[in-house]
Amino acid sequence: MTEITEVPSPFCGIGTDDLTIRVDGVLLKVIENGCAVNTPAFEQPMTDISARVAGQEVSLEVAVAKAAELLKDTKLPLIGGCATDVNGMRGLLALADRSGAVVDNMNFTGARNNFLALQDSGWMNTTLAEVKNRCDLLLVVGTDLEGFAPRFFERYLWNKASMFIEDTSEREVIYLGRAPSGEASTSPKGKKAQVFPCAIEDLAEVVAVLRALIKKQPIRATSVAGIAVADLQLIADKLKAATYGVVTWAAGALAYRQAELTVQTLSEMVKDLNNQNTRCSGLPLAGKEGDQTANQVCGWTTGYPARTRFSRGYPEYDPFLNETKTLLDNDEVDALVWVQAFNVTAVPPVTDLPTIVVGRSGMTFTKEPDVYIPVGTPGIDHAGHAYRMDNVVAIRLKKLRDSGLPSTAQVLNAIEQAL
């Protein structure tokens, strides 16, 4: 039995790397600094160690050969999930390039809200250490931040030491659109966040009025979606008065049509504030289960984010047409490869297509895939790299145990070689 300290987590997206984990054979126990997201993800028991073909246990070689056989004569295979580490994504993209596949990260429909805004007008963003040391006002839009990342406040807002904030417990937190699920946003001194709730799909309108107020446009209405314009004026005044305001949102939480326009309005509002003699930055929340990793590696390998097809021999990005659901619903693809090394509950969509699953050990299926190859989890079974929500920082994941499970990269490289 050993205890490993300073363990980085690929699960929570905020790059916590202070976990202490006890390793007993292949059993893991989070001893220190766990949370509702990380603890179950690390402690998830390992079950399958053998690959299966048609439900029968086979050797890895046989499973790889069968996967290659299924992919060999396909016209347009789909590689979904895309939840793995940097090396796993490298292998995945090599396989996609070779087989002319579509690549689609499972969280892309949420992330699309950010990409469409970024690719249309850009943004001014910041990273977690800047929040920790500079942020004096945090505006949380449409997102239950502590539900997303339970330790966000403890690590980055209520930190005791800060280079430029004298008393971190005096920082202000404002929720717009969605109320927090708990008390994590209440400062150690008991100062509570201000909350201005509205229906999530009304946020577009609310945010548009907030930006208009920041730009000093006259607003005739006295309330928007149940929020008094006077309250929005208060938020606008606080953002202008802040030394280093931060506006945060989770693109996936803005689950309504054309939410990219809300992200764009927020990002343009941040730019407006920087033209009014103060500093303000955006902070998009993401980084779950390798979504930033998938987009980063696909970005440098193809030029595009991880919703890209290789069917014409070169990468083509389309944030709508290359969506897994659309492709399956329209019978456009003829095989499915599902790659998910982090989360046993993120199973592939049920389909009649030949299905190959390269998944975390412990995954259970309502319909047994043609090929299932259990793989190790990056940061548990093998070393690797994963990106944090703020995209700049790649964390070095540690190997915690000897499980004998292959990595995603090993399996996908083997399938590619067998083609």
Partner 1 sequence: MLIKLTGGTVYDPACGIDGQLQDIYIKDGRIVAKPTDAVVEKEYDLKGKVVMSGAIDMHTHIGGGKGNIARTLLPEDHRQDPVHRSDITRSGCGHAMPSTFVTGYRYAEMGYTAGFEPALLPINARQAHMEMADIPILDKGGYVMLGSDDYLLRMLTAKKDQKAINDYVAWTMQSAKAIGVKVVNPGGINAFKFNQRKLDLDEQNNHYGVTPRDILQVLATAVKEIGVSHPLHVHGCNLGVPGNVQTTLDTIQGIGGLPMHLTHIQFHSYGTEGDFKFSSGAAQIAEAINRNKNITIDVGQILFGQTVTASGDSMRQHANHKHASPNKWVTMDIECDAGCGVVPFKYKDQNFVNALQWAIGLETFLLVNDPWRIFLTTDHPNGAPFTSYPHLIRLLMDRSFRNDVLSTIHPEAQKMTTLASIEREYTLQEIAIMTRAGAARLIGLKDRGGLSAGNWADITVYTDNADRQTMFEKPDYVFKDGQLVVVDGKVVSTKWGTTHVVRPDFDPSVEKGLKDYFDRYLTMKLGNFKISDDEITEDGRGSITVHPTV
Contacting positions for partner 1 (CB under 8 A)? 6, 8, 15, 17-18, 86-87, 90, 94, 97-98, 115, 118-130, 132-134, 155-156, 161-164, 243-244, 274, 277-279, 281, 295-296, 299-305, 310, 313-317, 383, 385, 391-396
Least distance (Å) between residue 340 CB and partner 1: 22
Alpha carbon distance 23, 27 (integer Å): 6
Closest to partner 1 by CB, 383 or 418: 383
Least distance (Å) between residue 75 CB and partner 1: 17
Q: Do residues 280 and 247 make contact, with C-beta atoms less than 8 angstroms apart?
A: yes
Say which amino acid occupies 117.
A
Closest to partner 1 by CB, 369 or 384: 384
Least distance (Å) between residue 102 CB and partner 1: 14
What is the β-pairing status of strands 227-228 and 244-250? unpaired
Least distance (Å) between residue 61 CB and partner 1: 20
Closest to partner 1 by CB, 10 or 369: 10
Least distance (Å) between residue 272 CB and partner 1: 13
Q: Which tokens hold the place of 51? A: 């690959």
Least distance (Å) between residue 410 CB and partner 1: 11
Quick one: DSSP state of residue 48? -
Say which amino acid occupies 206.
V
Alpha carbon distance 57, 196 (integer Å): 55
Least distance (Å) between residue 394 CB and partner 1: 5
What is the Cα 264 distance to its own chain's centre?
Answer: 19
Alpha carbon distance 380, 29 (integer Å): 12
Q: Which tokens hold the place of 52? A: 């299966």
Least distance (Å) between residue 192 CB and partner 1: 25
Closest to partner 1 by CB, 153 or 196: 153
Closest to partner 1 by CB, 370 or 390: 390
Burial of 267 (0-12, 13-18, 19+ CB in 10 A): buried
Instruction: Please list, residue by residue across 321-339, b when 16 or more beta carbons sit within 10 angstroms of its beta carbon and e when fewer do.
Output: ebbbeebbeeebbebbbbb
Quick one: DSSP state of residue 115? H
Closest to partner 1 by CB, 29 or 398: 398
Q: Which tokens hold the place of 20? A: 């202490």
Closest to partner 1 by CB, 194 or 271: 271
Closest to partner 1 by CB, 186 or 274: 274
Residue among 67, 120, 114, 99 at smallest CA distance from 309: 99
